[in-house]
Amino acid sequence: MKDIQYYITPPHQCSYIEGRAARMVFLDPVKRIDTVTLSELSRQGFRRSGDFVYRPECHHCRQCLSARINVQRFVANSSQKKAIKSNRDLRLEMRETHHATDVHYQLYERYIRLRHADGDMYPPSREQFEKFLVDSCTSRKTGLAL
């Protein structure tokens, strides 16, 4: 992790809280990292979006910090159990991201239209989908499921 070059953005409009300024720390997007390093960075609050690994760096604000769930200790509540039961017919298949299909893109497109129609991710595009989910910051392609 010592060889990683970090950059920080100038202040910009926060995409979570109106009227607030935000800054992001991000890794050099040209440098590839291994999945162990990505996992360690995730523990430090970094997020991945395609080739970009970043985290908010906003002094005096902690509103958008990443949350990590310990899956070994997770206990589903009643509404989560109900959702699991109603979706028990679904099949999960892990694929490397470069195997993304039209079905994956359609799911992404629907998500953007329903949840982010008022944001900078709208309107969705194939190029945006590939940069956000298919491209990878790691030296090995990461998983994609449906």
79-115 pLDDT, tens digit per residue, is 999 999 999 999 888 777 778 889 999 999 999 999 8
Between vectors from CA 33 to CA 30 and to CA 38, what angle results, nearest 5°? 120
Tens-place pLDDT, residues 20-77: 999 999 999 888 898 899 989 998 999 988 888 999 998 888 888 777 788 899 999 9
- 133 CB-side CA count, 13 A: 23
Residue 46: CB atoms within 10 Å: 21
Contacts of 45 (CB under 8 A, 6+ apart): 55, 56, 65, 66
Q: Residue 146: is its pLDDT beyond 60?
A: no
Kindly report the pTM of this predicted structure. 0.68
